[in-house]
Amino acid sequence: MNTVIYDGSFEGLLTAIFDVYEYRLKDACLTKYKDHQKNIFGNDHFTVTDPIKSARVWQGLQQRISQKAQGQVYKTYLSEIKRIENTILSYVQYVFRCATSVEYDYSDPSVLMVAETANKVAREKHRMEAFVRFQLTKDQLYYATVQPDYNVLPLIIKHFQKRYADQKWMIYDVQRRYGIFYDLSTTEFVEMIFNPETENGKNIGPCIAEEETLYQQLWQQYFSSVNIAARRNMNLHIRHMPKRYWKFLIEKRPVTDK
């Protein structure tokens, strides 16, 4: 077995796939550098991320599968599911083996897996677009923290940048420890050094604008007023709003005093 070790980036993954072809690595198993354990029986190959090689693989895909399917491959990568890179490798190999597009051949396990994983990631993306709750800070930044199951920040930039074009905002992934920041012209990936009081950006209480509490309370008021007790159905409620998201939702927090 050949273990192919890459740096964890998408370009790295594509380069690794290039290497599999270039060095004709049999039974290749891709793995991220941080997950790599020395394997005494196998062969280790270290991939050096290379923009030219990765672009060639990507172009190859572009010629063979639709834009939608290309997006699915990227989303599958963002799922960060263990060993998902090997699914992507078999998917790419299958695509390159066939003369016509196989992206709809759901009877092939890797095609189906990519489609399903991409769906899961897309669902999480939609959840983030729904469940982000901005809080206005004293310096007029709309700030939100999230902890998505998959690494979806790169996917939500477009949506938020279009929608909130006239306000500064930041969405921070507290688990992956990076954020996306929009400064009224472009959106960038940022790493943050937080004041220790803020528990790594999770609690920004002291920094919030004066009016913020009022609107949070009004929102809580609204949320409780629209409930129809005669139709209560907590199972359905939880199915739509899984509990793991609650800590980020203003309306699910205990009501603060007015």
| Candidate ranges 12-20, 43-51, 86-94, 250-258; the one touching other proteins (CB under 8 A) | 250-258
| Candidate ranges 53-61, 71-79, 156-164, 202-210; the one touching other proteins (CB under 8 A) | 156-164
CB 139 within 8 A of CB 128: no
Nearer CB in complex with other proteins: 38/162: 162
Pairing of strands 2-6, 28-32: parallel
By CB under 8 A, what part of segment 108-137 binds other proteins? 112, 126, 129-136
Site string for other proteins, 73-112 (x = CB under 8 A): -----------------------------x-xxxx----x
Among 68, 163, 177, 247, binds other proteins (CB under 8 A): 163
- E strand segments, the chain: 2-6, 28-32, 43-46, 135-136, 141-146, 168-173, 178-182, 187-190
Backbone phi, psi, residue 79, to 5°: -65, -25
C-alpha closest to that of 95 among 17, 191, 23 = 17
Nearer CB in complex with other proteins: 151/216: 216
d(CA 3, CA 39): 8
Nearer CB in complex with other proteins: 80/129: 129
d(CA 209, CA 132): 18
In the complex, minimum distance from the CB of residue 211 to other proteins, in angstroms, rounded to a whole number: 8
Site string for other proteins, 194-213 (x = CB under 8 A): -----------------x--
Cβ neighbourhood burial of 14 (10 Å; 0-12, 13-18, 19+): buried
Q: Does 228 bind other proteins (CB under 8 A)?
A: yes
Residues 6+ apart with CB under 8 A from 51: 11
Among 164, 198, 207, 209, binds other proteins (CB under 8 A): 164
Q: Which residues pair with 29 in a beta bridge?
A: 3
For residue 196, give Cα distances in angstroms to 15, 101, 138, 139, 200: 39, 52, 18, 19, 7
For residue 56, give Cα distances in angstroms to 17, 19, 115: 10, 11, 23
Q: Does 218 bind other proteins (CB under 8 A)?
A: yes
Return the biggest CA–CA distance within the chain. Answer: 68
Among 24, 240, 243, 257, binds other proteins (CB under 8 A): 240
Nearer CB in complex with other proteins: 37/185: 185
Nearer CB in complex with other proteins: 190/255: 255
Q: Give me the residues that bind other proteins (CB under 8 A), please.
A: 102, 104-107, 112, 126, 129-136, 142, 144, 159, 162-167, 211, 214-215, 217-219, 221-223, 225-237, 239-241, 249-251, 258
